[in-house]
Structure 1
């Protein structure tokens, strides 16, 4: 009888240990973030990543351009993208409508458009560039080819009848070129958006787009539709996600200008906003 009791206890212990092991295995499932080479992508991704890790998941990152991120979401290569710009990215939602969805707005009132230095006092709208394209060597600087906004810019150039060529490069290369021009107070026009450190570091202004090619954007959390089944608690957290655009811009400054570690900056934001974090994860 005693032996049977001992064996029974051992069996129960083994079963409990196995069950716990399976739960831990499930908790350690990997969640992958799509990451574009834009500074605006980093702070929300880092904050969400730390929170999701605290929820018991491992995380990984797939770095690519916007088109690659959405293709990855549709193809199960990544689960989450924290920097979906609407309406600029609507083309991707149309292309992958069966696989991809927006589940929350991270922040809105994100301005974008053509930007010039403040010293160009006579250039306050895109209309003002008409007939003055040679001032800019018939070029405007933009981000990497493949981003959906580059198609909008090409349409704008054609729609306004501008004799301009869009010069595409990385965000960093674009800003470097702009800074070289501005050092000598030379004319320059380029694509800009908020949140971004450029508006804190450079004396620049967004110029008017009277024909409406650029709309004020909202930035969305975009996921693979399978995420709800794969990690329902993560899905629920991201449904509640939001962050202030000013906080994002401040974190970008600390990461890009002050050289602070992105994870450290993100953890500091979490520590300073614990009540908000608790609300987002329904604690």
Structure 2
């Protein structure tokens, strides 16, 4: 007697797995877009983009908000996500790095005359809360900060915050970080924080690093961040919209590659430090 074999469905059917994943992400997007909006942070993300300066400013404050009880609970879980904890740790490391770079240039900034003081340019600042915090640590004229961004809402928010704090020595202007206009006074320090993580083309970043070197004052330093890993990349790329309203894709890179770009651009004394959560590095590169 001949046995008849029955065809079996492969255990790892890619079509079935893909369908399940798409369904799972669709459910999560639906939940986040409905119940999740009870959280103030998630509402900001849907309004301005989860990668926007306004979103990062809210993450920096780290105070749960939203509808009473339920919204606050959701918001606290949201703000405690590993990526946002790393963002806050990155901010503290960035401020520490900038303090050291400012100190290297002396309390007067190493400049003479009316233009004295260290000049800092952040080419993709958003509201620039961390720069306001840094500026408040120094006396009048010791530090001049220029904040640029293409997010006009974030710039307006930063201007309001600076005015409320009575800060002088900080200005806000619309500007494209990848096609920057030279400053009237060449900056001593240029900062690129949280931008290169959003760019998927390595060549674009390498070109930006080289271009920013040409904008620095002699002896100036470029300070930029790199995301080396992130355990929630798949979730973010399938659930969270960015400032352009499309799903937010990020790219992780080894810090050695970032340092290589700086070296190829002609920078010297290239060094990196990692924040305490372990997702980001801050690199300094001297002209």
TM bucket by the smaller chain?
A: 0.3 to 0.5
Q: Which has the higher contact order (CA 8 A, sep 6+)?
A: 1
Which structure shows the bigger proportion of residues in strand conformation?
1
Give the TM-score normalised by structure 2: 0.34
